Amino acid sequence: MALMENRGSYSDAFLSEYASYINDWLDEGKTVYTYFNNTMGNALQNLMTLKTFINA
């Protein structure tokens, strides 16, 4: 993932791109963990957005 300060927010386009990787890994039977390094920013909102892009 692109480096980011611990403030701010990831764009929907960025989250959608990584959701496609996560969906591929899940389809392969892999366990996937995510970590957001913007905990002083919009990490929770970014997580909720990412979840909408994941097909699990």
pLDDT per residue as tens digits for the range 3-24? 555 678 999 999 999 999 999 9
Contact status, residue 39 vs residue 6, Cβ threshold 8 Å = yes
Considering the domain boundaries, does residue 45 fall inside one?
Answer: yes
By residue range, what is the domain housing residue 24? 12-53
The number of folded domains in the chain is 1
* Predicted structure pTM score: 0.81
CA distance 48 to 45: 5
To the nearest whole number, what is the mean pLDDT of the chain? Answer: 88
With respect to residue 7, please indicate whether it lies within any of the assigned structural domains. no
Q: Considering the domain boundaries, does residue 21 fall inside one?
A: yes
Residue 2: inside a domain? no
Note whether residue 37 is domain-resident. Answer: yes
Residue 28's contacts (CB-CB under 8 Å, 6 or more residues apart) are none
Torsion of CA 26, 55, 24, 50, to 10 degrees: -100
Using CA atoms of 24, 41, 9, 3 in order, give the dihedral in degrees to the nearest 10: -70
